[in-house]
Structure 1
Amino acid sequence: MGVSRVKNQIDYLLISGQWRSSILDTRVQRGADTNSDHYLVRTNIKLRLQSHRNKKKVKPKIDVDRVKDEETKRKFCKSVRSKLEENRTEIEDIEEIWEQQRSAYTNAAGEVLGSRKGKSKPWITDNTWKLIDERKDIKIRTDSTCSERVKNRMKEDYREKCSEVKRSVREDKRRWMTEKSQLSQQQRTGDRKNSTA
């Protein structure tokens, strides 16, 4: 009788399903000298551990750019005055006076100015942000609807609003890019004039 050429795969790696994406590479090391019909199995694992984040609530940043608008500035000043008048009492402690004034300003800023939208994309205008908020509202209403017929109609509205948002963002970015390029050209021509003078 000759030596059998049949080989069975009998070496496996077992891992929990939640760690399955952490496995980078698994290989069998046939050169390891063990007195067994099993081979050594080597696995490279990359653990992605979640960092411990502080769970404190981040305060929203006030949109101070809106104060440039005269109407908004008037509303803000009027709101601050009214809040200071509401809290006016005869207090001698400087800390309490400071706390009243601080709360008057922050509450008025929160009501009138609102929080700043993400400025990672500075070309997005306020009109487009309104469209994005409308789209978000449609999505929330769609998810909370039980009727399948109403849900399908709202999904269609959501798709239309998505295309409207994309169109508006493209227009905003195109407008922003042309303004930036024109400003850059003006600066370049100004620099040339200054260097030749």
Structure 2
Amino acid sequence: PLNKDYQVQKWVQETLNRANDQIFTRSLSNKSQRGMGTTCVGTIVTGRATYIFNVGDSRLYADYRDGFIQMSEDHSIIAQLMREGKLTKEEARSHAQRNTLTSALGVWRVYRMDIHKIDPHYRYLLLCSDGLHGYVNENMICEIVEDERLSLSEKVNFLIAKANSAGGADNCTVVLMEKEAGGNV
């Protein structure tokens, strides 16, 4: 069992290292797969804490009483330029390098992974690829996630449908978790 922060961090790092090595090795052995890679986002919920981790630009959002918050940080050229104040959110939408990652699994021997312990008082956790957040604005995503009339599966289907109707040229992966009144996810 993963009971301590260092155990969680070690398990995530070792697991992602294995995945990175396998993808990287396969891309070297097959010319048609050269340069392939993937992003990764995940969460580990234990009895004591909630951990999130990501590589690339797949995201994790948490819906708290006081707001719907992007908890992960994108590993991309655009995100870096925005952090440096060299680009606005509006400019980022049409920037030529909007899909250029600074970290991904399998592309390089070394990659950047972020892992954090987050405030466990969320109502929902949304994990998604850029196939969702690249096509549907955050306000719309939040509205759908917080819509009490819809079941979890209806919310996920609606989010994917919104991404598809907005152009949907990218793979769209969505995982939505709701915390029950008793605290379980």
TM-score, scaled relative to structure 2: 0.23
Larger radius of gyration: 1
Q: Which has the higher contact order (CA 8 A, sep 6+)?
A: 2
Q: Which has the higher strand share?
A: 2
Q: Which has the higher helix share?
A: 1
TM-score, scaled relative to structure 1: 0.22
